[in-house]
Chains A and B, each alone.
Chain A
Amino acid sequence: MRVIADQDKCVGSGQCVLAAAQVFDQREEDGIVTLLIDNPPPELHEAVRQAAAICPALAITVLEEP
Protein backbone atom coordinates (compact mmCIF):
# COMPACT_ATOMS: atom_id res chain seq x y z
CA MET A 1 0.00 0.00 0.00
CA ARG A 2 1.13 3.52 -0.79
CA VAL A 3 -0.35 6.69 0.76
CA ILE A 4 -0.45 10.13 -0.84
CA ALA A 5 -1.49 13.22 1.11
CA ASP A 6 -2.53 16.38 -0.74
CA GLN A 7 -1.42 19.32 1.41
CA ASP A 8 -3.24 21.79 -0.85
CA LYS A 9 -6.62 20.18 -0.22
CA CYS A 10 -5.99 19.39 3.45
CA VAL A 11 -8.05 21.46 5.90
CA GLY A 12 -6.09 20.45 8.98
CA SER A 13 -8.92 18.60 10.68
CA GLY A 14 -6.59 15.97 12.10
CA GLN A 15 -9.10 13.19 11.49
CA CYS A 16 -6.38 11.12 9.82
CA VAL A 17 -4.17 11.36 12.89
CA LEU A 18 -7.04 10.21 15.06
CA ALA A 19 -7.51 7.23 12.74
CA ALA A 20 -3.83 6.31 12.17
CA ALA A 21 -1.35 8.21 14.32
CA GLN A 22 1.55 6.01 13.18
CA VAL A 23 1.07 7.16 9.59
CA PHE A 24 -0.14 10.76 9.74
CA ASP A 25 0.85 13.88 11.64
CA GLN A 26 0.03 17.59 11.42
CA ARG A 27 2.35 20.56 10.95
CA GLU A 28 2.64 22.52 14.14
CA GLU A 29 1.82 25.94 12.67
CA ASP A 30 -1.24 25.22 10.57
CA GLY A 31 -2.26 21.64 11.18
CA ILE A 32 -1.72 20.58 7.58
CA VAL A 33 -1.15 16.85 7.10
CA THR A 34 2.31 15.32 6.95
CA LEU A 35 3.15 11.68 6.27
CA LEU A 36 5.26 9.78 8.77
CA ILE A 37 5.44 6.77 6.45
CA ASP A 38 4.06 6.45 2.93
CA ASN A 39 4.16 2.66 2.65
CA PRO A 40 2.50 1.48 5.87
CA PRO A 41 2.82 -2.14 6.95
CA PRO A 42 -0.23 -4.44 6.55
CA GLU A 43 -1.33 -4.14 10.17
CA LEU A 44 -2.00 -0.41 9.57
CA HIS A 45 -3.82 -0.78 6.25
CA GLU A 46 -7.34 -0.80 7.67
CA ALA A 47 -6.61 2.28 9.80
CA VAL A 48 -5.23 4.08 6.74
CA ARG A 49 -8.30 3.20 4.68
CA GLN A 50 -10.42 4.56 7.52
CA ALA A 51 -8.36 7.77 7.56
CA ALA A 52 -8.85 8.23 3.81
CA ALA A 53 -12.58 7.58 4.07
CA ILE A 54 -13.12 9.98 6.97
CA CYS A 55 -10.95 12.85 5.67
CA PRO A 56 -13.33 15.79 5.18
CA ALA A 57 -11.12 17.28 2.48
CA LEU A 58 -10.56 14.20 0.28
CA ALA A 59 -6.86 14.86 0.76
CA ILE A 60 -5.71 11.26 1.24
CA THR A 61 -5.27 8.83 -1.62
CA VAL A 62 -4.57 5.17 -0.94
CA LEU A 63 -2.98 3.05 -3.64
CA GLU A 64 -3.57 -0.56 -2.68
CA GLU A 65 -0.96 -1.88 -5.13
CA PRO A 66 2.62 -1.41 -3.91
Chain B
Amino acid sequence: MSGPKRIAIVGASAAGLGAAEALRRRGYDGTLTLIGDEQHPPYDRPPLSKQILAGTWEPDKIVLRSGAQLATLDADLLLGRSAVGLDMADRRVLLDGGDRIDFDALVIATGVAPRHLPGDGLAGVHVLRTLDDALCLRSHLLDRPTVVVVGAGFLGAEVAAVARGMSLDVTLVDPLLAPMHAQFGDRIGGILADLHRDHGTSVRCGVGVRRFIGTAGRVAGVELTDGSGLEADLVVVAVGAGPAIGWLAGSGLPLGNGVECDAHCRAAPHVYAAGDVASWRNNRFHTRMRVEHRVNATEQAMVVAANLLGDDQEYAPVPYFWTDQYDARIQAYGIFPADADITLMRGELAGRRFVVGYSHRGRVVGVLGWNSPRELRTLRQLVVDAAPSPAKLTAADDLDAA
Protein backbone atom coordinates (compact mmCIF):
# COMPACT_ATOMS: atom_id res chain seq x y z
CA MET B 1 0.00 0.00 0.00
CA SER B 2 1.39 3.41 -0.85
CA GLY B 3 0.82 6.06 1.79
CA PRO B 4 0.88 9.84 1.44
CA LYS B 5 4.11 11.45 0.22
CA ARG B 6 3.17 15.03 1.05
CA ILE B 7 1.42 15.87 4.31
CA ALA B 8 0.37 19.41 5.18
CA ILE B 9 -0.52 20.37 8.74
CA VAL B 10 -2.29 23.68 9.23
CA GLY B 11 -1.81 24.89 12.77
CA ALA B 12 1.53 24.78 14.61
CA SER B 13 0.45 24.62 18.20
CA ALA B 14 0.16 21.53 20.40
CA ALA B 15 -2.05 19.52 18.03
CA GLY B 16 -0.22 20.42 14.82
CA LEU B 17 3.20 19.81 16.32
CA GLY B 18 1.96 16.63 17.97
CA ALA B 19 0.73 15.29 14.64
CA ALA B 20 4.04 16.12 12.97
CA GLU B 21 6.05 14.38 15.66
CA ALA B 22 3.80 11.35 15.74
CA LEU B 23 4.07 10.99 11.97
CA ARG B 24 7.86 10.99 12.15
CA ARG B 25 7.88 8.62 15.13
CA ARG B 26 5.82 6.23 13.04
CA GLY B 27 8.37 6.35 10.27
CA TYR B 28 6.72 8.72 7.81
CA ASP B 29 9.60 9.97 5.64
CA GLY B 30 7.76 12.09 3.08
CA THR B 31 7.38 15.84 2.85
CA LEU B 32 5.94 17.53 5.93
CA THR B 33 4.74 21.13 5.91
CA LEU B 34 3.72 22.73 9.20
CA ILE B 35 1.96 26.08 8.89
CA GLY B 36 1.38 28.40 11.85
CA ASP B 37 -0.14 31.87 11.82
CA GLU B 38 1.93 33.18 14.73
CA GLN B 39 5.55 34.26 14.44
CA HIS B 40 6.54 32.35 17.57
CA PRO B 41 7.76 28.80 17.29
CA PRO B 42 5.24 26.34 18.79
CA TYR B 43 4.50 27.07 22.43
CA ASP B 44 2.29 25.79 25.20
CA ARG B 45 -0.94 27.64 25.98
CA PRO B 46 -2.12 26.55 29.46
CA PRO B 47 0.57 28.61 31.25
CA LEU B 48 -0.51 31.79 29.43
CA SER B 49 -3.34 32.44 31.86
CA LYS B 50 -1.31 31.15 34.81
CA GLN B 51 2.48 31.46 35.15
CA ILE B 52 3.05 33.76 32.16
CA LEU B 53 0.33 36.18 33.17
CA ALA B 54 1.51 36.08 36.78
CA GLY B 55 5.09 36.67 35.65
CA THR B 56 6.47 33.64 37.51
CA TRP B 57 7.68 32.10 34.23
CA GLU B 58 9.51 33.72 31.35
CA PRO B 59 8.17 32.98 27.87
CA ASP B 60 11.14 30.75 27.00
CA LYS B 61 9.85 28.23 29.51
CA ILE B 62 6.74 27.46 27.45
CA VAL B 63 8.46 26.75 24.15
CA LEU B 64 7.18 23.33 23.09
CA ARG B 65 10.43 22.25 21.40
CA SER B 66 13.93 23.64 21.12
CA GLY B 67 15.26 24.76 17.76
CA ALA B 68 17.35 21.60 17.59
CA GLN B 69 14.33 19.42 18.30
CA LEU B 70 12.31 21.20 15.63
CA ALA B 71 15.15 20.68 13.16
CA THR B 72 15.04 16.92 13.69
CA LEU B 73 11.40 16.99 12.55
CA ASP B 74 12.69 17.70 9.04
CA ALA B 75 9.56 19.74 8.33
CA ASP B 76 9.00 22.91 6.34
CA LEU B 77 7.96 25.14 9.20
CA LEU B 78 6.08 28.15 7.86
CA LEU B 79 5.53 30.57 10.73
CA GLY B 80 3.59 33.79 10.55
CA ARG B 81 1.62 32.42 7.62
CA SER B 82 -2.16 31.98 7.56
CA ALA B 83 -4.12 29.49 5.54
CA VAL B 84 -6.86 31.37 3.73
CA GLY B 85 -8.45 28.63 1.66
CA LEU B 86 -8.63 24.93 0.89
CA ASP B 87 -9.07 23.46 -2.56
CA MET B 88 -10.22 19.89 -2.01
CA ALA B 89 -10.36 18.97 -5.70
CA ASP B 90 -6.71 19.79 -6.32
CA ARG B 91 -5.67 19.07 -2.72
CA ARG B 92 -4.12 22.43 -2.06
CA VAL B 93 -3.93 24.77 0.90
CA LEU B 94 -3.93 28.43 -0.09
CA LEU B 95 -1.82 30.76 2.02
CA ASP B 96 -1.94 34.48 2.54
CA GLY B 97 0.30 36.08 -0.02
CA GLY B 98 -0.81 33.64 -2.70
CA ASP B 99 1.38 30.60 -2.03
CA ARG B 100 -0.10 27.15 -2.41
CA ILE B 101 0.84 23.97 -0.60
CA ASP B 102 -0.02 20.77 -2.45
CA PHE B 103 -0.77 17.75 -0.31
CA ASP B 104 -1.75 14.11 -0.43
CA ALA B 105 -3.08 14.29 3.12
CA LEU B 106 -4.06 17.20 5.35
CA VAL B 107 -4.30 17.73 9.10
CA ILE B 108 -6.41 20.68 10.24
CA ALA B 109 -5.29 21.96 13.64
CA THR B 110 -6.13 25.66 13.52
CA GLY B 111 -7.54 25.81 17.03
CA VAL B 112 -9.98 28.45 18.17
CA ALA B 113 -10.26 32.21 18.21
CA PRO B 114 -11.67 34.24 21.11
CA ARG B 115 -15.28 35.36 20.87
CA HIS B 116 -15.84 39.08 21.04
CA LEU B 117 -18.59 41.29 22.45
CA PRO B 118 -20.05 44.31 20.70
CA GLY B 119 -18.03 47.38 21.56
CA ASP B 120 -14.99 45.55 22.87
CA GLY B 121 -12.71 47.39 20.46
CA LEU B 122 -12.08 50.11 23.06
CA ALA B 123 -8.54 50.57 24.31
CA GLY B 124 -8.11 48.75 27.60
CA VAL B 125 -10.30 45.79 26.58
CA HIS B 126 -8.30 42.58 26.20
CA VAL B 127 -8.77 39.02 25.06
CA LEU B 128 -6.32 36.23 25.84
CA ARG B 129 -5.41 33.50 23.40
CA THR B 130 -1.84 33.99 22.28
CA LEU B 131 1.50 34.59 23.95
CA ASP B 132 1.45 38.16 22.64
CA ASP B 133 -2.01 38.63 24.19
CA ALA B 134 -0.73 37.34 27.53
CA LEU B 135 2.38 39.55 27.56
CA CYS B 136 0.34 42.59 26.56
CA LEU B 137 -2.24 41.92 29.26
CA ARG B 138 0.47 41.37 31.86
CA SER B 139 2.21 44.64 31.01
CA HIS B 140 -1.06 46.48 31.55
CA LEU B 141 -1.85 44.67 34.79
CA LEU B 142 1.46 46.00 36.09
CA ASP B 143 -0.07 49.50 35.87
CA ARG B 144 -2.38 48.35 38.68
CA PRO B 145 -5.71 48.97 36.99
CA THR B 146 -9.15 48.24 38.38
CA VAL B 147 -10.04 45.03 36.54
CA VAL B 148 -13.32 43.59 35.31
CA VAL B 149 -13.22 40.08 33.86
CA VAL B 150 -16.22 39.28 31.68
CA GLY B 151 -16.88 35.54 31.61
CA ALA B 152 -16.17 33.08 34.41
CA GLY B 153 -15.25 29.96 32.46
CA PHE B 154 -11.81 28.36 32.65
CA LEU B 155 -9.98 31.34 31.20
CA GLY B 156 -11.85 34.16 32.92
CA ALA B 157 -11.67 32.49 36.33
CA GLU B 158 -7.92 31.91 35.97
CA VAL B 159 -7.29 35.48 34.82
CA ALA B 160 -9.29 36.85 37.74
CA ALA B 161 -7.29 34.69 40.15
CA VAL B 162 -3.97 35.89 38.72
CA ALA B 163 -5.01 39.55 38.75
CA ARG B 164 -6.23 39.23 42.32
CA GLY B 165 -2.96 37.50 43.18
CA MET B 166 -1.31 40.78 42.11
CA SER B 167 -3.52 42.47 44.74
CA LEU B 168 -5.58 44.26 42.11
CA ASP B 169 -9.22 45.22 42.51
CA VAL B 170 -10.96 42.52 40.47
CA THR B 171 -14.59 41.82 39.61
CA LEU B 172 -15.60 38.63 37.84
CA VAL B 173 -18.87 38.91 35.90
CA ASP B 174 -20.87 36.09 34.32
CA PRO B 175 -24.51 35.77 33.25
CA LEU B 176 -24.65 32.20 34.58
CA LEU B 177 -25.34 31.48 38.24
CA ALA B 178 -21.76 30.67 39.25
CA PRO B 179 -18.22 30.47 37.88
CA MET B 180 -17.71 27.51 35.53
CA HIS B 181 -21.39 26.71 35.88
CA ALA B 182 -21.61 25.53 32.29
CA GLN B 183 -18.72 23.13 32.83
CA PHE B 184 -19.44 21.67 36.27
CA GLY B 185 -22.86 22.74 37.50
CA ASP B 186 -24.07 24.77 40.45
CA ARG B 187 -22.50 22.83 43.34
CA ILE B 188 -18.92 23.11 42.15
CA GLY B 189 -19.67 26.55 40.76
CA GLY B 190 -20.83 27.67 44.19
CA ILE B 191 -17.62 26.47 45.82
CA LEU B 192 -15.63 28.29 43.14
CA ALA B 193 -17.56 31.50 43.80
CA ASP B 194 -16.70 31.14 47.50
CA LEU B 195 -13.06 30.52 46.62
CA HIS B 196 -12.89 33.73 44.61
CA ARG B 197 -14.70 35.75 47.27
CA ASP B 198 -12.46 34.36 50.02
CA HIS B 199 -9.50 35.70 48.07
CA GLY B 200 -11.08 39.11 47.71
CA THR B 201 -12.38 38.94 44.16
CA SER B 202 -15.82 40.44 43.72
CA VAL B 203 -18.06 37.87 42.01
CA ARG B 204 -21.10 39.11 40.10
CA CYS B 205 -22.86 36.08 38.72
CA GLY B 206 -26.31 35.88 37.18
CA VAL B 207 -25.81 39.21 35.45
CA GLY B 208 -24.46 39.97 31.99
CA VAL B 209 -22.73 42.89 30.38
CA ARG B 210 -25.05 45.26 28.54
CA ARG B 211 -22.35 47.52 27.14
CA PHE B 212 -18.89 48.89 27.58
CA ILE B 213 -18.57 52.47 28.77
CA GLY B 214 -15.80 54.38 27.06
CA THR B 215 -14.18 57.75 27.45
CA ALA B 216 -12.23 59.07 24.48
CA GLY B 217 -11.90 55.61 23.00
CA ARG B 218 -10.68 54.02 26.24
CA VAL B 219 -12.75 51.76 28.46
CA ALA B 220 -13.94 53.31 31.71
CA GLY B 221 -16.35 50.67 32.88
CA VAL B 222 -19.13 48.25 32.00
CA GLU B 223 -22.87 48.54 32.36
CA LEU B 224 -24.53 45.35 33.54
CA THR B 225 -27.90 43.96 32.51
CA ASP B 226 -29.37 44.76 35.93
CA GLY B 227 -28.67 48.41 35.27
CA SER B 228 -25.74 48.68 37.64
CA GLY B 229 -22.31 49.76 36.55
CA LEU B 230 -18.74 48.80 37.31
CA GLU B 231 -15.77 51.10 36.92
CA ALA B 232 -12.82 49.58 35.15
CA ASP B 233 -9.47 50.66 33.79
CA LEU B 234 -8.98 47.29 32.19
CA VAL B 235 -11.49 44.69 31.00
CA VAL B 236 -10.74 41.13 29.98
CA VAL B 237 -13.33 39.54 27.70
CA ALA B 238 -13.27 35.76 28.25
CA VAL B 239 -16.59 34.67 26.81
CA GLY B 240 -15.38 31.54 25.09
CA ALA B 241 -13.84 30.82 21.76
CA GLY B 242 -15.04 29.60 18.39
CA PRO B 243 -13.31 27.13 16.09
CA ALA B 244 -11.02 28.77 13.53
CA ILE B 245 -12.75 27.44 10.43
CA GLY B 246 -13.35 30.62 8.44
CA TRP B 247 -10.61 29.66 5.97
CA LEU B 248 -12.48 26.42 5.18
CA ALA B 249 -15.69 28.11 4.02
CA GLY B 250 -16.64 26.80 0.61
CA SER B 251 -14.17 23.92 0.79
CA GLY B 252 -16.94 21.34 0.95
CA LEU B 253 -15.73 19.98 4.29
CA PRO B 254 -18.47 19.40 6.86
CA LEU B 255 -18.36 22.40 9.17
CA GLY B 256 -20.47 23.12 12.22
CA ASN B 257 -19.17 23.61 15.71
CA GLY B 258 -15.70 22.88 14.33
CA VAL B 259 -14.54 20.61 11.53
CA GLU B 260 -16.97 17.73 11.78
CA CYS B 261 -15.15 14.43 11.76
CA ASP B 262 -16.16 10.80 12.17
CA ALA B 263 -15.09 8.61 15.09
CA HIS B 264 -11.64 8.29 13.45
CA CYS B 265 -11.14 12.08 13.32
CA ARG B 266 -11.54 12.03 9.54
CA ALA B 267 -13.46 14.89 7.91
CA ALA B 268 -13.07 13.67 4.32
CA PRO B 269 -10.81 11.20 2.53
CA HIS B 270 -7.19 12.18 3.35
CA VAL B 271 -8.35 15.06 5.56
CA TYR B 272 -8.26 14.88 9.36
CA ALA B 273 -8.66 17.36 12.21
CA ALA B 274 -7.12 17.46 15.69
CA GLY B 275 -7.22 19.67 18.76
CA ASP B 276 -9.57 22.49 19.65
CA VAL B 277 -10.92 22.83 16.11
CA ALA B 278 -11.99 19.19 15.72
CA SER B 279 -15.49 17.99 16.39
CA TRP B 280 -15.73 14.21 16.35
CA ARG B 281 -17.95 11.41 17.51
CA ASN B 282 -16.62 9.94 20.76
CA ASN B 283 -18.20 6.51 20.86
CA ARG B 284 -17.19 5.97 24.47
CA PHE B 285 -19.81 8.53 25.46
CA HIS B 286 -22.04 8.09 22.40
CA THR B 287 -21.82 11.77 21.63
CA ARG B 288 -20.19 14.30 19.34
CA MET B 289 -17.73 16.52 21.13
CA ARG B 290 -15.16 19.24 20.64
CA VAL B 291 -12.61 19.60 23.42
CA GLU B 292 -10.55 22.74 24.05
CA HIS B 293 -8.00 21.23 26.37
CA ARG B 294 -4.32 20.56 26.26
CA VAL B 295 -4.10 16.79 26.61
CA ASN B 296 -6.73 16.27 23.95
CA ALA B 297 -4.65 18.19 21.43
CA THR B 298 -1.73 15.79 21.73
CA GLU B 299 -3.78 12.64 22.16
CA GLN B 300 -6.00 13.35 19.19
CA ALA B 301 -3.00 14.31 17.04
CA MET B 302 -1.44 10.91 17.76
CA VAL B 303 -4.53 9.07 16.59
CA VAL B 304 -4.78 11.27 13.50
CA ALA B 305 -1.15 10.53 12.62
CA ALA B 306 -1.75 6.81 13.00
CA ASN B 307 -4.88 6.85 10.87
CA LEU B 308 -3.22 8.98 8.24
CA LEU B 309 -0.62 6.27 7.81
CA GLY B 310 -3.16 3.50 7.41
CA ASP B 311 -4.33 2.61 10.92
CA ASP B 312 -8.02 2.41 11.70
CA GLN B 313 -8.19 3.71 15.27
CA GLU B 314 -11.34 5.11 16.80
CA TYR B 315 -10.65 8.11 19.01
CA ALA B 316 -12.65 7.47 22.16
CA PRO B 317 -10.72 9.15 24.99
CA VAL B 318 -11.74 10.04 28.51
CA PRO B 319 -11.14 13.80 28.24
CA TYR B 320 -8.89 15.32 30.90
CA PHE B 321 -8.59 18.94 31.93
CA TRP B 322 -7.44 21.04 34.81
CA THR B 323 -7.47 24.58 36.09
CA ASP B 324 -5.40 26.36 38.73
CA GLN B 325 -7.03 29.18 40.68
CA TYR B 326 -5.38 30.59 43.82
CA ASP B 327 -4.43 27.53 45.87
CA ALA B 328 -6.94 25.25 44.16
CA ARG B 329 -5.99 22.74 41.53
CA ILE B 330 -9.16 21.38 39.98
CA GLN B 331 -8.83 18.40 37.67
CA ALA B 332 -11.44 16.41 35.84
CA TYR B 333 -11.80 13.29 33.74
CA GLY B 334 -14.78 12.56 31.55
CA ILE B 335 -17.88 14.52 30.63
CA PHE B 336 -20.13 16.60 32.86
CA PRO B 337 -23.68 16.78 31.51
CA ALA B 338 -25.86 19.52 32.97
CA ASP B 339 -28.40 16.94 34.22
CA ALA B 340 -25.81 14.62 35.81
CA ASP B 341 -26.18 13.55 39.44
CA ILE B 342 -23.25 14.53 41.63
CA THR B 343 -21.99 12.36 44.47
CA LEU B 344 -19.19 12.99 46.93
CA MET B 345 -16.67 10.17 46.58
CA ARG B 346 -13.66 11.26 48.64
CA GLY B 347 -12.87 14.00 51.14
CA GLU B 348 -15.19 16.82 52.06
CA LEU B 349 -16.42 19.87 50.22
CA ALA B 350 -15.91 22.24 53.14
CA GLY B 351 -12.27 21.20 53.42
CA ARG B 352 -11.76 21.96 49.73
CA ARG B 353 -10.06 18.63 49.21
CA PHE B 354 -12.43 16.18 47.59
CA VAL B 355 -13.45 14.13 44.59
CA VAL B 356 -16.99 14.16 43.25
CA GLY B 357 -18.48 11.81 40.69
CA TYR B 358 -20.91 12.76 37.96
CA SER B 359 -23.37 10.09 36.88
CA HIS B 360 -25.68 10.06 33.96
CA ARG B 361 -28.29 7.41 33.27
CA GLY B 362 -26.97 5.32 36.13
CA ARG B 363 -23.30 5.34 35.03
CA VAL B 364 -20.27 7.34 36.12
CA VAL B 365 -19.35 9.63 33.23
CA GLY B 366 -17.04 12.07 35.01
CA VAL B 367 -14.95 12.58 38.12
CA LEU B 368 -13.73 15.92 39.41
CA GLY B 369 -11.02 16.39 41.99
CA TRP B 370 -10.27 19.48 44.04
CA ASN B 371 -6.71 19.37 45.37
CA SER B 372 -6.84 15.57 45.16
CA PRO B 373 -4.75 14.61 42.12
CA ARG B 374 -3.71 11.14 43.11
CA GLU B 375 -7.09 9.96 44.31
CA LEU B 376 -8.72 11.44 41.24
CA ARG B 377 -6.46 9.48 38.92
CA THR B 378 -7.41 6.27 40.70
CA LEU B 379 -11.12 7.07 40.40
CA ARG B 380 -10.78 7.80 36.68
CA GLN B 381 -11.13 4.07 36.22
CA LEU B 382 -14.82 4.39 37.15
CA VAL B 383 -15.28 6.50 34.01
CA VAL B 384 -13.29 4.06 31.90
CA ASP B 385 -15.46 1.22 33.20
CA ALA B 386 -18.70 3.24 32.94
CA ALA B 387 -19.23 2.02 36.50
CA PRO B 388 -22.69 2.06 38.07
CA SER B 389 -23.70 5.31 39.73
CA PRO B 390 -21.49 6.08 42.74
CA ALA B 391 -24.49 6.49 45.01
CA LYS B 392 -24.22 2.74 45.45
CA LEU B 393 -20.52 2.96 46.23
CA THR B 394 -20.69 5.75 48.75
CA ALA B 395 -24.24 5.76 50.02
CA ALA B 396 -23.21 7.43 53.27
CA ASP B 397 -21.60 10.36 51.50
CA ASP B 398 -24.60 12.35 50.53
CA LEU B 399 -23.42 15.60 49.01
CA ASP B 400 -25.82 17.72 50.99
CA ALA B 401 -24.52 16.30 54.25
CA ALA B 402 -21.03 17.55 53.50
Contacts and interface: CB of A to CB of B under 8 A. Distances in A.
Interface of A: 9, 11-15, 17-18, 26-28, 30-31, 49, 53-54, 56-58
B46 A31 contact: no
A57 B43 CA distance: 11
Given A12-B329, A58-B64, A30 B298 contact: no
Interface in B218-255: none
B373 A31 contact: yes
Contacts of B377: 14, 17-18, 26, 31
Interface in B328-349: 329, 331
B373 A14 contact: yes
B354 to A, nearest CB: 14
Contacts of B64: 58
What is the predominant secondary structure among interface residues of chain A facing chain B?
loop
B300 to A, nearest CB: 11
30 contacts: A9-B61, A11-B322, A11-B329, A12-B322, A12-B331, A13-B320, A13-B322, A13-B331, A14-B373, A14-B376, A15-B320, A18-B377, A18-B380, A26-B373, A26-B374, A26-B377, A27-B374, A28-B374, A30-B371, A30-B373, A31-B331, A31-B374, A53-B18, A53-B21, A53-B298, A53-B302, A54-B299, A54-B302, A56-B320, A58-B44
Contact of B294 (A12, A31, A49, A56): A56
B95 interface: no
Interface of B: 18, 21-22, 25, 44, 46, 61, 64, 294-295, 298-299, 302, 320, 322, 324, 329, 331, 371, 373-374, 376-377, 380
Contacts of B302: 53-54
Among the interface residues B21, B25, B373, which one has the most CB atoms of the partner chain A within 10 A? B373
Nearest to B21: A53
A13 B18 CA distance: 18
A28 B346 CA distance: 14
B313 to A, nearest CB: 14
A13 B330 CA distance: 10
Contacts of B25: 49
A54 B295 contact: yes
Contacts of A18: 377, 380
A17 B377 CA distance: 9
A53 B25 CA distance: 11
B366 to A, nearest CB: 16
Contacts of B329: 11-12, 30-31
B52 to A, nearest CB: 13
9 A-B pairs with least C-beta separation: A31-B373, A14-B377, A12-B373, A56-B294, A26-B374, A56-B295, A31-B374, A54-B298, A28-B374
A55 to B, nearest CB: 9
A49 B374 CA distance: 22
A57 B21 CA distance: 17
A31 B64 CA distance: 22
B294 to A, nearest CB: 4
A28 B320 CA distance: 19
A45 to B, nearest CB: 12
A56 B46 contact: yes
